[in-house]
A and B are shown apart, each in its own frame.
Chain A
Amino acid sequence: MSLFLIAALPFLGAVFPALLIRAGRNAAAASTGSVTLLALIGLLLNAPAVLRGETVSARLDWLPDLGLNANFQLDGLGLLFAGLILGIGLLIIIYARFYLSREDPMGQFYSFLLLFQGAMVGIVLSDNILLLLVFWELTSLSSFLLIGYWKHLPEGRQGARMALAVTASGGLAMIGGMLILGHVAGSYDISVILQHKELIQASPLYAPALILILIGAFTKSAQFPFHFWLPHAMAAPTPVSAYLHSATMVKAGLFLMARMWPVLSGTELWFYLVATTGLVTMVLGAVIALFKDDLKALLAFSTVSHLGLITMLLGLGTKAAAVAAVFHIINHATFKAALFMSAGIVDHAAHTRSIRQLGGLRHLMPVTFTLAGIAALSMAGIPPFNGFLSKEMMLEEAAHAVWAGSAYLLPAVAVFGALFSVAYSLRYIAHVFLGPKRHDYPTLPHDPAPGMWLPPAVLVALVVLIGLFPEAIAAPIVVSAADAVTGDHHSYFHPKLWHGLTPALYMSVVAVAGGALLLMLHRPAEGLWNALPRPEAKVIYDAIVGAATRASRSFTETLHDGALSRYSAIFLLFTLAIAYYAYASGDIGASTRAMQPITAMTVVGWVCLVGSALCVVAFHRNRLLALVLIGVAGLMVSLSFNYLSAPDLALTQISVEVVSIILLLLALNFMPQETPRESSAGRKLRDAVLSIGAGLGAGGLIYALMTRDFALPSISEYHLANSYKGGGGTNVVNVILVDFRGFDTFGEIIVLGIAAIIIFAITESVLGSRVRARLLNRKPWYPLAGDAHPLMMVVATRVMMPIALMVAAYIFFRGHNMPGGGFIAGLIAAIAVVMQYMASGFSWATERQGLPYHGIIGTGVLVAAATGMGAWFNGLPFLTSAFGYVDPPYLDEFELATAALFDLGVFLAVLGAVLLALQSLARFAWQPGIASEHPMDINPERDEATKTIEGH
């Protein structure tokens, strides 16, 4: 079967349990099992070839530019691991079916399990380190889901997050390492990398790459000091623990080290990093395991210890050690999975995993006792079981290892570790199953249904068989896997139960005897142990994570404290700094332009403009006054435009000024009339400095620009030259607006339109909220004028209305040739209407003009767009204008330009937008009773009204 399919099957299969769970738990389990079985069969089909020493591979380009390709290969090592993953996976699936209770969502469980299985298979089959990284992180993610499966348990949630944090960070470190490695080797394909040992070990980047990769491997395989996550992952359901921590997840790190062994191993650095870490982990794990009362915790730490053992073997760097490592991987997988399952059985039956509450179970659970007993003895390294064989090989290798010049250190420590592992293994038997029957079990235990004890039974059978006939059963796979690791083709593997009186045998005898002795002294030893101060990893981890979270929270919330004034200040400071740097680091020539003369009038204008601006700052707390003052400033600006030969700007500025002031006045009507004093002196100083800086910047920049000529001729010369010929207008500014750059204008009227509908929408939502009630009962800030609609004003505005409209029309039509145009005309027309509102009151005016403002805006934009598209019919681009002249009788020659039509669009959009905006605002003001049908009447209730208000 193709490797792609083998790797993909679990992922594809993950769908089935999720769906089939509706058909019952058996259906879910069966589907999961058959998917796994299928993959296993597919794998075994490739086995013969691999055992013959061939390498099966399947390659597919995914991201060749990066070197990330879906390249898979199957060699001995891959076969061994894939076999363990799928085989034990199958047993776990059966076991879990009977282990999980009815409340547990079993569909989810099996989906997660398959995802995890797929990720693991992917790791061991990858021939591309980037692809391997993908699967590597996937195992972290899927194990996160599995460990947190019992989401109602805090231990489960925390254990899951801890496992994710530790393993994922290792994965990230590995990304760095792998990128370096691939860079050095010139390829990300493992098969290629493995051929560049010298190149890689010679590279100065070898050390960083090795360290980063090892961090990845150590975190995954729970090596000291990253071992602490594994015991906490025990909060997962036992099948998960049995799977993740015997055969799969934690073996991924070992796999990686084995995989990279040919290129990375054999250096001092490798030896001291890997062997030492392994040794420390082995001893530490073994010691802690002995003093754990929770069965699963005991097994967890024993796992840590055995992983350390294998790591150490890989670290020794000799081929024999590598062979031993491979062999122990198999053995550990078998007895450890069996032990976890037996622990699960006990937990299931007795409803406790605490050794203190157990004992004497052999009378009640003979089957479980047999299985657990054999597995535990194998773990202890007692012949004739497989654990004995690999431990002998380990001790043999240790005996020959020289650590930092001392030939005794490493063997001694190894024996010490072995001794403890004997002790806790025996304790698992003695304190749980042996001893007298007790009468205080939480529930009376009994052997489980075959579905639960058969899977461990299978494994235990292996334990025994491998122990008795290693050559026959284990040799082929071990050899071919070892070949894959060491890269030569005749690894030496001839394990015997008895091979004479070797140092290893003595060491092992010492270990067993010492272990048994230690177990007898368990109580005093435990007292001693509890007396020792020990750092609790979880506490430290939680402290770190908690601190990090708090730190980032306070950092974030101090930085983003919601103070816009501060944000703006930072913005200004940064801008000024960068701009100054840009200026200072460039060169600037002398000014090249003659200045315009300064006349008395300009000085007066300047004084008014500047004065009004400064007064606004000085008196801004009185908001009404501030409005009046910026009105003055606006007026002065418009005058200066006029003076500096920009009549269009002058007209626009002044009409915009009028409208915006009206707008602000209406808004101010609802807002506080005064701005309170709340800035501290220091704050004012800061702002003053910033604003003066900004002022100097802007002023200086424009001065520098104005006093120099264009470095290169401006494109506007073309506009002047073609405005009449090509655009048919003598007012170049207007021609630019409606023709050369008509598209800008198109966007501009759309902006206006949007503004209007936003204002409308806001008004709707505000008036649709509780605010409306407050608006209705609002008391005006000042006593209302007696007659809201003074006679004079009403008359005046009504007379002016037609005149204003006439002016608007005039301005509109002359626009193309003289100052004016649709925009200004629109504003004037709008003002004409607004005057009526102001003079005669909202209700009165609304009744008498039924203009659909939305409609007007829409029409405006559409007319402009339609005009633009008109050009398409002549095969010309959007907004291409056409014009001609007609000479109607009794009238002057008259121009018809499509540009005028476009300008009409502008006119309408502006008119509609302004009116809609002002009308929306006016709707805020509406209160029952203020609508007077006869705006010219004197309001008879004036005095009462005044009184009531003064009353408040």
Chain B
Amino acid sequence: MNHWIIAPILLPAVVAPFIIMVIRYHRDLQRVFSVASVVALNLIALVLLAQAMDGTIGVYELGDWPAPFGIVLVLDRLSAMMVLLTTLLALAVVLYAIGSGWDTRGRHFHALFQFQLMGVLGAFLTGDAFNLFVFFEVLLIASYGLMIHGGGATRLRAGVQYVVYNLLGSSLFLIALGTLYSVTGTLNMADLAVRVAELPAEDTALLRVGAVLLLLVFAIKAAVLPLHFWLPASYANAPMPVAALFAIMSKVGGYAILRMYTLVFGPDLAVTDGLVGDWLLPAALLTLAAGSIGVLGARELGRLVAFSAIASMGTLLIAISLFTPQAATAALYYVIHSTFATAMMFLVADLVIERRGGALIPTPPMPQGGLVAALFFAGAIALAGMPPLSGFVGKLLVMDAARDSDQVWTVWAVILVTSLITIVGMARAGSILFWKAHDHSVLPPDPPEHTDDGAPVAADLAPEPVPGLAFVPVFALLTALVALTVLAGPAMRYTEATAAQLFAPADYIETVLQRPGS
């Protein structure tokens, strides 16, 4: 029995309560354990990747109950890849949080961080629809805690919006699951796939409702227009390192769409015909457009990055919503790029905001301005999809994959025009942030007149950064982007194999439903 599969879920689930119980008053111990746990998670993720690399599908039957009656965790190429992506990102973020001292601006940062990881990793690994809901809730509630970490009036108010909107989403999730169960009588994804395929014709209506409601739930996570409204305020007001971690959360939505609508409601399934791609592709195009327009129009750095995150989700969903193996290959490559690039940009944004505030108005030069400017330039290149970083490759892949779609001209036009808008917006922001600062006309801004009542004043909540450490993860993410570009070939081979596995779900279903090993 291969226990590796559950390790990435259990480890944080044990470390977090330990932190809460034993060392909640020892800042440094918390940091040590948190980092150690993330490092361990990375090792585990590598093991899992090694196991999934050759296309074998691992199944873990919790409670030793056979699927579909118990809950199963499933490890395939896709989940292995997403797990590793998450743990890599987590390492960068936790190091930055420590380096910038963000983790000391409120209580329980590290515990919540671990729980958040547990939720995300669980969502990637589970093979049971309702269990997916549970992990969604775990990662959501942890994200609520992280989002308002450090407090402050505006952040808390944004937090309320974030929570309420997502609670609507959770209710919808339950309704969708209830509908699916009530029609098919099962919750296991593989079993769902089987039963949906052999469903009698007269029950399609209800099943279609269930299927599309589920899609909407995931679309909320993936910030698809017009369900993206929760994102800008939440990401822009969250602590930037947390927003960087959220870069993977929106990918959970993308993952779930890709998983559910290749495995259960496959593209060529008659029952759910015309429910998925038909509106998802236009919505994705609009998302991309809205995102890039937001970049150009942003008054504040946090929002600028938030909108560029929306834009990159749009590009990702364009690729996903084509539902062809080639497009999925591109999508999976783009997922990696988009996660690292968005996260990096949020961290850079934090570096800037900590030095001069987030408003896009000229202020005198900031300390280490040159270094930060260089990082911003790199991040902007990545997000705008300019060479030499992976964004360019990803964009080419997506455009290339769209070639066989009948929407090809629309897709190309939107992608190219939005890139231009993003470039102009980024250039504008960068020039204001880093160049105008040297203009002799620029004076230091007046101190803000109304002080925020929510801002912490107690001494023990003052940030305690580790000097220098903050830059390490940012450079690490940049290195990851460079590596992703240079090693595009190997990366593509993996994502290609993954896509192939996704679009041939028979293997997955067999392995899950007929207990392997016995």
Contacts and interface: CB of A to CB of B under 8 A. Distances in A.
B293 A556 contact: yes
A137 B68 CA distance: 52
B185 A740 contact: no
Interface string B4-41: 00100010011011101110100000000000000000
A441 interface: no
Contact of B206 (A164, A704, A746, A854): A704
B102 interface: no
B297 A557 contact: yes
B286 to A, nearest CB: 11
B131 interface: yes
B489 A877 contact: no
Given A175-B396, A575-B172, A878-B10, A582 B381 contact: no
A705 interface: yes
A554 B297 CA distance: 8
A102 to B, nearest CB: 16
B232 A582 contact: no
Contacts of B187: 715
A920 B10 CA distance: 28
B51 interface: no
B202 to A, nearest CB: 3
A865 B13 contact: yes
A72 interface: no
B438 A698 contact: no
Interface string B28-66: 000000000000000000000000000000001111110
Given A719-B69, A751-B141, A766-B454, 7 more contacts: A160-B431, A172-B416, A548-B296, A574-B216, A578-B216, A587-B204, A757-B145
Contacts of A714: 181, 185-186
Given A63-B489, A164-B427, A742-B63, A68 B396 contact: yes
B294 A560 contact: yes
A587 B205 contact: yes
Contacts of B68: 715
Interface string A756-770: 011011101111111
Contact of A761 (B149, B294, B393, B440): B149
Nearest to A899: B63
Interface stretch (A151-159, A456-464, A527-535, A801-809): A151-159
B453 A771 contact: yes
23 contacts: A63-B488, A137-B386, A144-B427, A548-B421, A549-B296, A556-B307, A559-B290, A560-B232, A705-B178, A708-B203, A739-B65, A743-B134, A754-B138, A754-B141, A758-B112, A758-B145, A760-B108, A769-B456, A854-B20, A857-B21, A858-B17, A872-B3, A877-B3
A915 to B, nearest CB: 14
Contacts of A698: 175
A761 B113 CA distance: 13
A763 B489 CA distance: 51
A687 to B, nearest CB: 14
A61 interface: yes
Contacts of B293: 552, 555-556
Given A570-B226, A587-B201, A744-B134, A871 B112 contact: no
Contact of B492 (A65, A151, A555, A857): A65
Contacts of A600: none
B72 to A, nearest CB: 9
A132 to B, nearest CB: 11
Contact of B387 (A138, A589, A765): A138
Interface in A852-873: 854-855, 857-862, 865, 868-869, 871-872
B492 A705 contact: no
A838 interface: no
A701 interface: yes
Contacts of B226: 570-571, 574
Contact of B185 (A715, A854, A865): A715
Contact of A151 (B164, B207, B212, B434): B434
Interface in A705-725: 705-706, 708, 710-716, 718-719, 722
Contacts of B130: 741, 744
Contacts of A750: 13, 115, 118, 138
Nearest to A702: B178
Contacts of A557: 297
9 tightest A-B CB contacts, nearest first: A858-B21, A589-B202, A586-B205, A714-B185, A765-B151, A768-B458, A553-B297, A552-B297, A758-B145
B200 A711 contact: yes
B135 A865 contact: no
Nearest to A759: B145
Given A701-B175, A744-B71, A578 B212 contact: yes
Nearest to A573: B226
A747 interface: yes
Interface centre among A66, A164, A722, A868 (most CB of B within 10 A): A66
Contact of B392 (A134, A875, A880): A134
Contacts of B10: 865, 868-869, 878
Contacts of B144: 758
Given A165-B427, A862-B14, A757 B488 contact: no
B197 to A, nearest CB: 11
Contacts of A570: 226, 229
B420 interface: yes
Contacts of B396: 66, 68, 130, 175, 179
Given A583-B208, A715-B69, A564 B165 contact: yes
B65 to A, nearest CB: 6
Nearest to B399: A179
A858 B20 contact: yes
Interface residues of A, number: 130
A862 B18 CA distance: 8
Contacts of A857: 17, 20-21
A868 to B, nearest CB: 8
Given A698-B175, A876-B1, A179 B185 contact: no
Contact of A757 (B112, B135, B183): B112
Contact of A770 (B13, B131, B457): B457
Contacts of A61: 489
Contacts of A173: 416
A179 B145 contact: no
Interface in B251-280: 271, 274-275, 279
A64 B397 CA distance: 12
Given A130-B396, A138-B388, A857-B17, A148 B70 contact: no
A360 to B, nearest CB: 34
Interface in A624-646: none
Contact of A855 (B21, B165, B208, B427): B21
Contact of B230 (A138, A567, A762, A855): A567
A764 B25 CA distance: 13
Contact of A862 (B17, B299, B424): B17
A733 to B, nearest CB: 14
B284 interface: no
B143 to A, nearest CB: 10
Given A747-B138, A869-B10, A560 B229 contact: yes
Contacts of B135: 747
Interface string B188-206: 1001000100111111111
A62 interface: yes
Given A151-B438, A586-B208, A762-B151, A743 B71 contact: yes
Interface in B101-118: 106-108, 111-112, 115, 118
B355 interface: no
A155 B151 CA distance: 42
A168 interface: yes
B416 A879 contact: no
Contact of B416 (A175, A765, A854): A175
Nearest to B294: A556
B359 interface: no
Interface in A658-706: 698, 701-702, 704-706
Contacts of A701: 175, 179, 206, 209
